[in-house]
Amino acid sequence: MHIRTAELSEAASADYAARTARNREAFLDFVRLYYDEMKVREAFERYVHPDYIQHNPAVVDGREAAIAHLEGLLARPTVSMDVRRLLVDGDYAVAHLIGRQGPEDPGHALMNIFRMEDGIIVEHWDVAQPVPATTASGRGMG
């Protein structure tokens, strides 16, 4: 989808603000279940459409495929997901987090981008970057 700057004026409407608020409420609960409590199946069955569109090249489309992939990644009790920021705007929601496999793992900085329809996640993109020991700026990834 190509968005033109003129189309962004919709963001000033009362409907857009209400849609953002509804999606934010659903997304916050999804994040709590998934990242904080690591209840992948519960989070996805409640907030992800069965025909979920996946843009991660390692995972096929569909809610069940995402659940299987994520439950495998999060199976170790040492895994942690440290959410740093959440953004919700209209039908899009973004979670910025640091994921670690254990306490000695520097982790990966992750950005998960979701498209929502009526409080249900229907599409997902993500980017991941290993957390380096040092950075040129001196600032971390979180």
Strand 80-89 versus strand 92-100 pairing type: antiparallel
Q: Under a CB-based contact definition with an 8 Å cutoff, are residues 110 and 99 in contact?
A: yes
Instruction: Give pLDDT tens digits for 17-35.
Output: 999 999 999 999 999 999 9
- Sorted by where each starts, the structural domains of the chain and their CATH numbers stand as 13-130 (3.10.450.50)
Q: Under a CB-based contact definition with an 8 Å cutoff, are residues 67 and 92 in contact?
A: no
User: Of the candidates 139, 30, 37, 131, which has an alpha carbon nearest to the alpha carbon of residue 81?
Assistant: 37
Note the pTM of the prediction, 2 decimals.
Answer: 0.89
Report the percentage of the chain scoring pLDDT > 70: 92
Helices assigned H by DSSP within the chain:
14-31, 40-47, 63-73
